[in-house]
Structure 1
């Protein structure tokens, strides 16, 4: 119970700003790696005994550390629960499993049996850098000299990352950040890319020949794909052209068949008088008898001009014309008989 009252008292005074002698004028810079542990070290004057340490982050209370065997810590910020340790009899603070959001300004308010003072810290948290990857962006070899452009990248990028390049041989090389340009008579060289941030560093070594061989293969694949695409488009165009041409040919054949079907059709017509028109009797001979003419039927076989010579109706009607043996059947018959199925058309 006494210990609990002491903790409550310490928590109440944790928010009070002390300005005791020995306060640091500038904060101590600390760098941590995400997922690892960072240590905030403390010192007290010789001959003094530590009473307690109140920790804050920004303006928020973090914890109260009390020396002992072992030392104890009361965590007041739930975001840090389970991640704070107090080693060295309370003269240090460990934060485990660091997170990027743990970065910030920390203050330690130290109370001894003889004095009070403050220590300031600034914590920066960085991700551990993975192994970088080197890529061949471009290459050209002319007059016995190859110019190669390389790039160095890391997944997910990162802040405060710097790049450096190195090669064992002394060919001409220029670099700017993650890009390097090499001029060399051949590609039989190795190159190293190193990435670094305040918390970690990583590097990789690659053969320029192997990198650029893959780049050449990619270019060949692109050219082959373009050629295949052009070939497929050409085949599709040819197929569409053939289908269109075939459709026109079929339409022409259909029209030709219709013409052939009508070439040998026989047309029939019955020549007579219009019943509604007044008839004028026609006298025959000298006896004054009226000749009532019967209707007369005319039928003919109609053929194209190329198959029979052109003749007028007056030349063909009711005459004894003989058809040339070289001409096909084309005649007009005058008869009083009407073939079966003939329709009568009145002549006006």
Structure 2
């Protein structure tokens, strides 16, 4: 009798240990994808048993809503969340969750619960979906004065409607010249650069997020061709001085002409 009690206690202790390990020993797996891609969240089981019950849950802060269920014994697979169900599939053999044509609305925490009596297994996934990057546009920076030398041209690299964790950078060859980042949604990023007209170096503007990037190369001749003869932009004080000098020159010219006419 004592031996049976000891065996029963060991079995119970083993089951409790397995349960605690599955609940508290699970790590959160991070998954990063681009909008429009297909991603699979794996159960890491080779096949679903007859009496298995599988639940997939989703939430932005924590998994709090059941989005898909499998009852193998009743041969039932159901997708519950109306907003997500058109994007969801389940692997019939393993129970892995497949999200197709993924959008930024699918960013959040996912929890898998496999009820395989007498134990329960859990897996957690943190999915981050990044919006597609726009192609950088390089243009003449008409709002920015170039340096005092007419041999310089100011250019501007811009991207529109960028999402979180996006950076915009200027490179000269492989060297990083400047960079700017954004953490907000749907804003414009712009980064200026001043180059010489005769510069033969390779300049490129790069927009990137943590998983991909897009590059636009600077064609100095094309972007700055309107300034090939040298366009100099000046401040207010210099503009006033130029205006006054021009007026004085005009008055002096008129005076000379009048004097010449009277002399004749």
So what's the TM-score if we normalise by structure 1? Answer: 0.47
Residue segments in structure 1 that go unaligned for 5+ positions in a row: 1-18, 221-348
Partner of 2:251: none
Greater RCO (Cα-Cα under 8 Å, separation 6 or more): 2
Partner of 1:296: none
Conserved? CA contact 1:188–1:209, under 8 Å = no
Partner of 1:41: 42
So what's the TM-score if we normalise by structure 2? Answer: 0.61
1:191 corresponds, among 203, 210, 213, to 203
The one-character-per-residue Cα deviations of 1:193-236 (angstroms, maximum 9, x if unpaired) are 1111134321111212211225779x89xxxxxxxxxxxxxxxx
Conserved? CA contact 1:55–1:64, under 8 Å = yes
The one-character-per-residue Cα deviations of 1:266-321 (angstroms, maximum 9, x if unpaired) are xxxxxxxxxxxxxxxxxxxxxxxxxxxxxxxxxxxxxxxxxxxxxxxxxxxxxxxx
Partner of 1:157: 162
1:174 corresponds, among 154, 173, 177, to 177
Task: Give 1:1-348 correspondences, 5 Å limit.
Answer: 20-23=20-23, 24-44=25-45, 49=49, 51-58=52-59, 59-66=64-71, 73-87=77-91, 89-112=93-116, 115-137=119-141, 138=144, 140=146, 146-168=151-173, 174-177=177-180, 178-184=190-196, 186-214=198-226
Residue segments in structure 2 that go unaligned for 5+ positions in a row: 1-18, 181-189, 233-264
Cα distance in 2 for residues equivalent to 1:202 and 1:75 = 36
Conserved? CA contact 2:39–2:100, under 8 Å = yes
Cα distance in 1 for residues equivalent to 2:160 and 2:201 = 25
Question: Could you list the runs of 4 or more consecutive aligned residues of structure 1 that deviate by over 6 angstroms after TM superposition?
Answer: none
Offset at residue 174 of structure 1 (A): 3.5
- Residue range with higher mean Cα deviation, 179-188 or 112-121: 179-188
Conserved? CA contact 2:134–2:162, under 8 Å = no
The one-character-per-residue Cα deviations of 1:316-342 (angstroms, maximum 9, x if unpaired) are xxxxxxxxxxxxxxxxxxxxxxxxxxx
Structure 2 CA distance for partners of 1:193 and 1:65, relative to 1, 3 Å: farther
Cα distance in 1 for residues equivalent to 2:206 and 2:95 = 37
The one-character-per-residue Cα deviations of 1:99-132 (angstroms, maximum 9, x if unpaired) are 2222111111123356312111112222111211
Say how many residue pairs are matched. 196
Cα distance in 1 for residues equivalent to 2:126 and 2:174 = 43
Q: Which of structures 1 and 2 has the bigger CA Rg? A: 1
Cα distance in 2 for residues equivalent to 1:169 and 1:186 = 20
Cα distance in 1 for residues equivalent to 2:33 and 2:47 = 32
